[in-house]
Each structure stands twice: as structure tokens, then as C-alpha cells.
Chain A
């Protein structure tokens, strides 16, 4: 039994690497998209605010699995052909972007109005106010929940196995298909996911404590 699993380890490692790669792509892309849309939600003109609000509420209101299937099966139907890997990354990024939008909105909303006014009063332009006054403060409030939410990207990535992408989850299923050692392999997989996510949430707790004293 152990021999069979040891034999499968390189294969599992490849799957794990893919899980990390998908998660990393999703985290980076959603950060960029989420910050842009989040600024649109907070400072944009009404049509943009409404569009982002509808986007975020819709995405957060449906299961990720539905979103993944919608993107994966729906895009080819309307003539957009993506590799399943990129369809999966796109779907997870949409999901994560909606989260980032909310973290950003919450972080900016937590900064008192007087900060903007004081920045206006010394003659800073809109961009300068964002760059030097609002964002440096919002960043401290944005970071801990955002890092905490990175685990959602890692956990969510396990769903891409359903699209035939050989991530860690799918690699485990395939090894079980050959070896029939279901329980040890699921536990091994669970421990790997646990190790990654626990490390991430530990890091976020550390950061939260580090930034706690700066508040107010």
C-alpha cells in the first residue's frame, strides 16, 4: 500500500503544483481586477457603481460550482473557446474578484470622511488623495481579510478537478482509480490542503496583530 502511494508521489506533486499555480493566478488576477472594480464601486459614477454592485452581488449569491460550470460550458456555446484550464482560472477569478471588491469597499468605507476633507483642504488632487491618504490607510484594513481569503482560492481550486484538470484533487482521484487506496490518499490530500491553508491563515493572523496598534 505504502509502496503504491510512494510510486504515485511525483504524480501527486505535479497535481499539487497545478493547484498552487491556479491559486496564484486567481489570487493575482482577482487582486488587480478587484481593486479596479472596487475603486469603481466606491468612487465611480452611478452607472459604474451599479454595474459593479450587480456583478458582485450576483457572483457572491451563487455557488462557485455553478459559476465554474456556467463559464466552462457556457462560453463555448456563445462562441468563446478557452482551454479548460483558462476557463477554470476565469471562473475562479470572477468569484475571487467579487470578494476583493467587498474587502476593498469595506476598507475604504472604514476610513473617516474627515481624512478626505483634510487631504482636500491642503490641496491634494483626487489621485493624490487616493495615493497618499486613503490607500495607505485602507491597505492596513484590507490586508488581513484578503490574506485570510486566499485560502478560499486554494480551496475553490479543488473544484477545477471537475473540468478534467489534473490538480491535486484530480490527481488524488486518479491515483485512487488505479490503486483503490481511497482512504489513505484522501487523508494525504486533506493534510496537504490543510498545511497550505493553515499556513496562510496563520500568516494573516500575525499580520492582523501587527497592524492592530496602528488603528485609530
Chain B
């Protein structure tokens, strides 16, 4: 596609993606490329389409036009032109290449912390359960929950559940990790422990796209910030640049002003 200027280095290439629910258009020709190892945070008022965009990347949502490629491979459709949807099996395989962490954790309540992580490893990656178990234990250790491997989600705090959610996603060794407002459902005192895990993954070079309201985190930990408004990308660039654009970007100024009013 003409718009994907830096195709050679882009791991994720979103090109002119549009989507509408009925007459409401939620994404208006959104384009964004993410290079390997980048941490991109997406900010913006609610209803700006940021979560929808994230969900399009692993095709939890379909989109009406445009193209999304990971490593050069079209995500949801066999061909962006004919818009023929991939088979169920193909989609599952594509999704296994991306990891997702959810606002509501979405841990499987009938499985233990280790069981949550092992499910994809055994059923999708085809690993033996012994191997899956040791991978699960490794990642639980990484997120500081080595001692909780056999706990059910109901026995864990929100912050602990979300750390298991992250471990579940990264244990699959995805090419890219999608984080959808992962701290929004947490009590304020539990936010730090979850962000610390994300920060350490970033240091390891994990490619991440993160929708968040944690402005300090976006400013300090991301390589680029994307500001979305009304279904489109309103500003994009290094944190300092984007936040400085406040003086010229009316929408961004309003957003940040409201944000400051409610958070400080």
C-alpha cells in the first residue's frame, strides 16, 4: 500500500482502516506503523476509537476497509482487496501471533494461574504439559507470582490477576503485545505493580501497543504516543513532541485539560 512508507522495518502496519457501527463511524482511515521493539501508547477521550483500533489488530473486531498487516501478513482477510475473511483456523493461528491483555483481566475462572497460561501453550503451540508447566512457572516468576501457580483466579487480587493475564499473553511469545486499558479496573494502589511488569517487558524489547489513561506512564515509558480523537489519529510522535503539541492542537488541549482536572 502506498501509505505504508516504512514497510521494511514495520512489524505492525495499519493502513487507512475505517470502521463504522451502523451510521456511527468509529475509525476514520486510521494509519499507524509500529516498528519491532517499539512501545506505542494510545491515548484519547472515550469513544475516540482507541480500543476498537486495538481490537482490530487481532481481529476481535472486523473492519470495513483498509489493511492491517503483522510482519507483512494481512490479519483478518485473505486479501485486503477482495475482503475475503480468513478461515477460523487461519484466524486462530494469526491471533496466536499477537498477545492481548484485557481491561477486565478475563482469566479463565475454572483454571489455576498456571492452567490459564498452559492452555494456549498446549492446545495452540502443541507443547507437552510438562514443558508448558515449566514455561508457565517461568513467566509467573517473572511477574512475581511464582508462589501462586496453583491458585484459582478468584483467590487472587485484581493486580495479581492482571499480572497472570500478562503472563498468559507473553508466554505465547507473541510478535506484538496489545494492552487494552489494563489498569482501568484496578484499585489505584494496585496499578503500580502491573505497570512495573509492563515496563520490564519493554526493557526486554517486547513490541507493545497500549491503550491507557496512565499519562505519566505514557510520557515516561513509551517510544511514541498516539493521540486519537473522533476515530482518527490527531497527533503522533515521541511523547515530548505530542504533549508539547498541546499548544497547537485544540482537541489535545481539551483532552489534557479535562484529564488533569479529573486526575490531579
A118 to B153, CA, bound (A): 14
Report if B104 contacts A (CB, 8 A): yes
Count chain A residues whose beta carbon lies closer than 8 angstroms to a beta carbon of B: 21
A193 to B97, CA, bound (A): 58
Contact between B123 and A128, CB atoms less than 8 A apart: yes
User: A-facing mask of B90-104, CB < 8 A → 1, else 0?
Assistant: 001111111110101
Contact between A122 and B168, CB atoms less than 8 A apart: yes
Please tell me which one of the listed residues A115, A121, A125 contacts residue B100 in the complex, with CB atoms under 8 A apart. Answer: A121
| Given contact pairs A114-B104, A115-B106, A216-B109, A121 touches B169 in the complex (Cβ within 8 A) | yes
Contact between A118 and B107, CB atoms less than 8 A apart: yes
Report if B263 contacts A (CB, 8 A): no
| Set of chain A residues within 8 Å of B124, measured between Cβ atoms | 122-124, 128
A117 to B169, CA, bound (A): 13
Give the residues from 95 to 141 in chain A that come closer than 8 angstroms, CB to CB, to chain B.
Answer: 112, 114-115, 117-126, 128, 132-133, 136-137, 140
Contact between B106 and A120, CB atoms less than 8 A apart: no
| Given contact pairs A117-B60, A132-B119, A132-B123, A125 touches B110 in the complex (Cβ within 8 A) | no
Report if B154 contacts A (CB, 8 A): yes
A125 to B60, CA, bound (A): 13
Please tell me which one of the listed residues B95, B108, B154 contacts residue A120 in the complex, with CB atoms under 8 A apart. Answer: B95
Please tell me which one of the listed residues B94, B102, B109 contacts residue A214 in the complex, with CB atoms under 8 A apart. Answer: B109
- How would you classify the secondary structure of chain A's contact residues: helix, strand, loop or mixed? helix
Give the residues from 153 to 172 in chain A that come closer than 8 angstroms, CB to CB, to chain B.
Answer: none
Contact between A121 and B123, CB atoms less than 8 A apart: no
Contact between B95 and A137, CB atoms less than 8 A apart: no
Contact between A122 and B106, CB atoms less than 8 A apart: no
Please tell me which one of the listed residues A121, A136, A137 contacts residue B58 in the complex, with CB atoms under 8 A apart. Answer: A121
| Set of chain A residues within 8 Å of B152, measured between Cβ atoms | 214
Contact between A123 and B172, CB atoms less than 8 A apart: yes
Report if B120 contacts A (CB, 8 A): yes
Report if B189 contacts A (CB, 8 A): no
A128 to B119, CA, bound (A): 10
| Given contact pairs A132-B123, A216-B154, A118 touches B95 in the complex (Cβ within 8 A) | no
Give the residues from 56 to 77 in chain A that come closer than 8 angstroms, CB to CB, to chain B.
Answer: none
Contact between A115 and B108, CB atoms less than 8 A apart: yes
Closest residue to A139 on the B side, CB-wise?
A: B110
A128 to B123, CA, bound (A): 8
| Set of chain B residues within 8 Å of A114, measured between Cβ atoms | 102, 104, 106
Contact between A137 and B109, CB atoms less than 8 A apart: yes
Report if B88 contacts A (CB, 8 A): yes
Taking the nearest CB of chain B, how far is it from the CB of A107, in angstroms?
A: 13
Given known contacts A119-B108, A126-B88, what 18 new A-B pairs fall within 8 Å (CB)? A117-B100, A117-B106, A118-B108, A120-B58, A121-B95, A121-B99, A122-B95, A122-B168, A123-B92, A124-B92, A124-B123, A125-B88, A125-B92, A128-B124, A132-B119, A133-B119, A137-B109, A214-B109
12 A/B residue pairs, CB under 8 Å, sorted by A:
A118-B108, A121-B60, A121-B99, A121-B100, A122-B169, A123-B93, A123-B124, A128-B92, A137-B108, A137-B109, A214-B109, A216-B109
Taking Cβ atoms with an 8 Å cutoff, the residues of A that contact B are 112, 114-115, 117-126, 128, 132-133, 136-137, 140, 214, 216
